[in-house]
Amino acid sequence: MPKLDLDAVPATAGNLYPEPLRAAVRGRSVRRLGPAAGLTDFGVGHVVLAPGAATSQRHWHEGEDEFVVILEGEAVLIEEGSRVTLRAGDCAAFPKGIANGHQIVNESDAPVVLIGVGRIPGTDCHYSDVDLHFSAADRQYRHKDGAPY
Amino acid sequence: MPKLDLDAVPATAGNLYPEPLRAAVRGRSVRRLGPAAGLTDFGVGHVVLAPGAATSQRHWHEGEDEFVVILEGEAVLIEEGSRVTLRAGDCAAFPKGIANGHQIVNESDAPVVLIGVGRIPGTDCHYSDVDLHFSAADRQYRHKDGAPY
C-alpha cells in the first residue's frame, strides 16, 4: 500500500554516535520510510524527538543535500550563531557542501515530529561543536585527528 | 537561511498538461523548494490543492520514486480500484516502475497542503485514465499512440 502504516515500520534510535556524544540524540526515534516503502532514489526519515532530544550533533555534509519539514511541535534550528524556531509546516533545507553545521533540538515539553529527506552519506560529514568526523571511505566515526573512538 | 520563507518562493501552476486534461489540476499551486533552496539531489514541491484540485492525472513513473506527506487538510489517494483518505501527518510512497497509477485529490471544502519529493523525470510517465503519455526522450506530452497534442 502506498499509504504508509507508520506503526508497522520499526522505530530505531537511528545512527548512533560514539559515547559520550550519543547523549544528544537520546530520545530520538527514527522510522526509515524509504527502505520500508521500496524507495531507492532518496531516503526519508520519520523522526520523533522527545523533549530534550536533537536530530544530530551539529554537522554538515560534503556531498548530500538534506531537507526537513516539521509535522508537529516546536523545535529550534541551531546553526553557527543563530537559533530559529521551527513549527508545524515549517521547512528547512541544507544544501551539500555549505560549511555551517546544523542541528534541530526539541527544547519544548512536548514531542516534535518531523520528516527528513536525504541520501545515504557517501561523503564525509563534519561536526561543528564536538570532536567527531564521519569518514565516508570506511564509514567510521573518528576523532577529528583521525584516531578511532 | 536554511529555514525557508515559503512566501518568498514563487507559487506556480506546476507542469501543465495539454487541454482539456489540465482541468484536473486547476487549483493546484506548487512552490518548488529544491531550486529555491539550492538542493540538487532531489526535488521538493510544497503543494496547495484548492477544493476540487488534484496533484496530477493518475500516473506512474518508470524510473522515479515519489514520496508525499500531508501537512494540512484531508485528501483522497486514488489508485486502481482503491480510495484511501490521507490526513495531516500521513505519508505515502510510490516506488518507481510499479504500474499502478496514483493521484491525490482534494474532495473537501478546505485547502490541502502537502510536500512531495521526487526527481526531475528522466523516464517515461504513464497515465492510467486519460489519453496521455510523457515521453522522456523529447520531454513532451503526447497521445498514447505517439501523436502530438
Cβ–Cβ below 8 Å for B3 and A84: yes
Distance of alpha carbon A136 from alpha carbon A134, whole angstroms: 6
Distance from CA of B17 to the nearest CA of A (A): 24
Residue A17 in domain = no
Helices (H), A64-109: none
Does residue A86 sit at the B interface (CB-CB below 8 Å)?
Answer: yes
Least confident of A4-8, A29-33, B94-98, B134-138: B134-138
Residue A21 in domain = no
Q: Identify the pLDDT of residue B63.
A: 97
Q: To which H or E segment does residue B37 belong? A: helix B33-37
Q: How confident is the model at residue A72 (pLDDT cuts 50, 70, 90)?
A: very high
Residue A122 in domain = yes
Residue A128 in domain = yes
Cβ(B114)–Cβ(B47) below 8 Å: yes
Residue A124 in domain = yes
Cβ(A55)–Cβ(A103) below 8 Å: yes
pLDDT in tens, chain B (149 residues): 799 999 999 999 987 899 999 999 999 999 999 999 999 999 999 999 999 999 999 999 999 999 999 999 999 999 999 999 999 999 999 999 999 999 999 999 999 999 999 998 899 999 999 999 999 999 999 999 999 98
Distance of alpha carbon B94 from alpha carbon B68, whole angstroms: 9
Domain that holds residue A85: 33-142
Q: Which of B71, B92, B119 is closest, CB to CB, to A3?
A: B92
Mean pLDDT value across residues A98-108: 98
Distance of alpha carbon B133 from alpha carbon A2, whole angstroms: 22
Cβ–Cβ below 8 Å for B42 and A113: no
Cβ–Cβ below 8 Å for A69 and B6: no
Residue A4 in domain = no
Q: What is the ipTM of this complex?
A: 0.95
Residue A125 in domain = yes
| Order of strands, sheet of A82-87, starting from the edge strand that comes earlier in the sequence | A82-87, A74-79, A103-105
Residue A58 in domain = yes
pLDDT(A78) > 80: yes
Classify A8 as helix, strand or coil: helix
Q: What residues in A contact B44, CB-CB < 8 Å?
A: 67, 91, 93, 117
Which residue do the cell numbers 512552490 mark? B31
pLDDT tens digits, A133-146: 999 999 999 999 99
Distance of alpha carbon A11 from alpha carbon A5, whole angstroms: 12
Question: How many domains are contained in chain A?
Answer: 1
**Amino acid sitting at position A3:** K
Q: How far apart are the first and last CA of chain B?
A: 42
Classify B26 as helix, strand or coil: coil
Q: Identify the pLDDT of residue B143.
A: 96
Which residue do the cell numbers 526515534 mark? A29
Chain B residue with the nearest C-alpha to that of A37: B93
CATH assignment at residue A51: 2.60.120.10
A64: Cα within 13 Å, side-chain hemisphere: 20
pLDDT(A16) > 90: no
